[in-house]
A = this chain, B = another copy of it.
Amino acid sequence: MTDRIEADYLIETAFPPDQAAEAMAGEQSSGTFIALPGETPELKARAAARVEQIEDLGPVAGPSLPGAGRPDGAHRQARVTLSWPMGNMGLSLPNLMATVAGNLFELQWFSGLRLTDLRLPDTFMASCPGPAFGVEGTRGMAGVKAGPLIGTIVKPSVGLTAAETAALVAELCAAGIDFIKDDELQADGPSCPFADRARAVMAVINAHADRTGKRVMYAFNLTGEVDEMRARHDLVAGLGGTCVMASLNSVGLTGMLALRRHSQLPIHAHRNGWGYLSRHPALGFDYRAWSVFWRLAGADHLHVNGIANKFCEADDSVIASARAVLAPLSSAHPAVAMPVFSSGQSARQAHATWAALGRADLIYAAGGGIMGHPEGPTGGVQSIRDAWDAAMAGIPMEQAARESRALAAALKRYGS
């Protein structure tokens, strides 16, 4: 590892790829659209970004995005690696963002540009808080030694009062759940104020813990301004809660860092809005690259969608995201986050998820897949637990369903 920051991009251009890559490097470091007297050889040596590698991927039917120069030219895709000296932005995640993912998406040279990976020197990563809990810390707090944390989302997404939420949580605790999260739409609205919800829910969770020894992990959505988040965190921690949740695209890197610097609890990081950052394949971010920022900022849990989800993401992309957040960034600074599988999940996807990922260090969150189970939440949780136990033991889904009424009912309920 050098002391330079490296970023990989997928580009599409009608210009020669090496010229386009040089334009990127110039725009994102010492260059401007016209040669200036101040850009001396000494300054370039100090600050210029460098094109490290170009791999021409050949012609494409283009342009993928409007506004590029030479719209009628022959468009090609290429993989490009740029590097920057750390001295340009210092040890700062927010400023790293402006460098590797700032103005360059708008350059006329490109009819497509996507940040696909990001590698940082250990010196840089040492300055970032990173996840305080990750997989092992979360398992410890939730009391789940092996297998996935089986979780759910409070549904309906928004509209339940604090008391209604607590009543639902009581039902879910009784059903044997490991993890519950607020929906990202529910934070501190007047119909369900955060403090009321936290008090009502924690009363239920604490009573259940007193009775059973099991303290269900509840991720309270504290998304808000910095002072609000700190106060909400302190309330949750004081009530014996074990997790807080924030919407990353709402709080931003600076908001997330402020939360992480204050937090004593695992941070459940919700990626809502990810669609606008990623859905066009020639624009925006690969999750592998984007999640590096949030891992280093302190996300303990990161949403990755789920197999056969209700959204538009393909299964291989979901699995690539989960693998990425489970892979250490370096041996000194692994910053491993726990992937959260969520969106249209039920017992039906357990085997496919295990087969594709080969790991169970994850949160498996089902909303309708638990609460809509014919036998209610107890059946829903049991069906998912039985499915995962079978998958990890190498027992096929159909065989497992013959031995688990809950699983058989789930497979029937949640289609094929």
Contact = CB atoms under 8 A, between A and B. Distances in A.
Interface residues of A, number: 101
A128 to B, nearest CB: 11
Given A65-B279, A160-B43, A279-B67, A185 B102 contact: yes
B33 A310 contact: yes
Contact of A187 (B92, B252, B284): B92
A2 interface: no
Contact of A190 (B36, B87, B368): B87
Nearest to A256: B252
A231 B164 CA distance: 44
Contacts of A285: 276
Nearest to A109: B312
A240 interface: no
Interface in A21-68: 28-39, 43-44, 46-48, 65-68
A99 interface: yes
A46 B214 CA distance: 34
Given A164-B38, A185-B29, A368-B33, A226 B258 contact: yes
Contacts of A354: none
B94 A250 contact: yes
B226 A257 contact: yes
Interface string A297-314: 000000001000011111
Contacts of A387: none
Interface in A227-261: 228-229, 247, 249-258, 261
Given A66-B281, A88-B159, 15 more contacts: A29-B158, A36-B371, A47-B156, A66-B279, A92-B187, A99-B185, A102-B272, A108-B311, A110-B312, A224-B254, A225-B254, A226-B226, A226-B257, A252-B252, A277-B277
13 contacts: A30-B157, A34-B368, A38-B164, A67-B279, A69-B312, A87-B189, A88-B189, A94-B251, A105-B275, A250-B253, A276-B283, A279-B283, A283-B283
Interface of A: 28-39, 43-44, 46-48, 65-69, 86-90, 92, 94-95, 97-99, 101-108, 110, 113, 155-160, 164, 168, 184-185, 187-191, 223-226, 228-229, 247, 249-258, 261, 270, 272-277, 279-281, 283-285, 305, 310-314, 344, 367-369, 371-372
